Amino acid sequence: MSVIRLGDEAPNFTAQTSEGEINFHDWLGDSWGILFSHPADYTPVCTTELGTVAKYKSEFEKRNVKTIALSVDGLSSHKSWIKDINETQSTSVDFPIIADEDKKVSNLYDMIHPNADNNLTVRSVFVIDPDKKVKLIIVYPASTGRNFEELLRVVDSLQLTAYHKVATPANWKNGEDCVISPAVTNEQIPELFPKGHKEVKPYLRLTPQPNL
């Protein structure tokens, strides 16, 4: 069983999905990716989650993010379940759901936590950048649905901080002030952050979001 940490390369795999066979790295291409697991098909919380992801399609697309789900059930079950999701959530699931009956991918990504359940995956989330590096890992218990607004917020932060020398403070949302990286000297600030900055403390310097 793998243990994946931030900064590791996301393990590659080939798998059958509701949209055909994929090679994970090839499927990601130059996009960011969100891989998220579900305990099983036909579970109520999962049904709402997959419907929510489908409704957020345009938000993920404008961030260059591909979404892909996983369940330990098979393809025929997935395809029938998708019909239920579309019906009950008033949407159209148009992203792949991995069929992981042999738990190959689940074990590769350490999605099965025996003290929670020996057979079903917990609600794992992996955000992966275009270099195939793992940038975020969140693990929820099976009973708690994910907050996809929070995942969009995290992606906004990850994409911003990947290309600018800033970090994002607590409860930050896209458009709000950012924290200047401690590695940036005061002398460098005017060139790097022409919008100006506010020094709260020598180690806490705020600047308007630089990519807006």
Q: What is the pLDDT of residue 142?
A: 80
Residues 129 and 175 in one domain: no
Position 8 in a domain:
no
Q: How does pLDDT run across 18-73, given as a tens digit for each residue?
A: 999 999 999 999 999 999 998 889 989 999 999 999 999 999 999 999 999 999 89
Print the domain residue range for 183. Answer: 164-207
Q: What is the pLDDT of residue 109?
A: 93
3 versus 182: the higher-pLDDT residue is: 182
Please identify which of the residues 35, 46, 68, 98 carries the catalytic annotation: 46
Residue 207 has pLDDT above 80, yes or no: yes
Residue 2 has pLDDT above 80, yes or no: no
Asked if 81 and 44 count as a contact pair (C-beta separation under 8 A), the reply is no
Q: How does pLDDT run across 143-160, given as a tens digit for each residue?
A: 889 999 999 999 999 999
Using H for helix, E for strand and C for coil, what is the string for the chain?
Answer: CCCCCCCCECCCCEEEECCEEEEHHHHHCCCEEEEEEECCCCCHHHHHHHHHHHHCHHHHHHCCEEEEEEECCCHHHHHHHHHHHHHHHCCCCCCCEEECCCCHHHHHCCCCCCCCCCCCCCEEEEEECCCCEEEEEEEECCCCCCCHHHHHHHHHHHHHHHHCCEECCCCCCCCCCEEECCCCCCCCHHHHCCCCCEEEECCEEEECCCCC
Q: What is the pLDDT of residue 122?
A: 67
Asked if 31 and 65 count as a contact pair (C-beta separation under 8 A), the reply is yes
Q: What is the pLDDT of residue 39?
A: 83
Q: What is the pLDDT of residue 116?
A: 62
Q: How does pLDDT run across 184-204, given as a tens digit for each residue?
A: 999 999 999 999 999 999 999
Q: What is the pLDDT of residue 118?
A: 55
Residues 107 and 135 in one domain: yes
Residues 103 and 192 in one domain: no
193 versus 120: the higher-pLDDT residue is: 193
CATH of the domain at 55: 3.40.30.10
Position 2 in a domain:
no
Residue 178 falls in the annotated catalytic set: no
Position 101 in a domain:
yes
Q: How does pLDDT run across 68-117, given as a tens digit for each residue?
A: 999 989 999 999 999 999 999 999 999 999 999 999 999 999 888 766 66
Q: What is the pLDDT of residue 8?
A: 96
* Mean pLDDT confidence for 130-139: 96
Which residues have CB under 8 Å from 102's CB, separation 6+? Answer: none
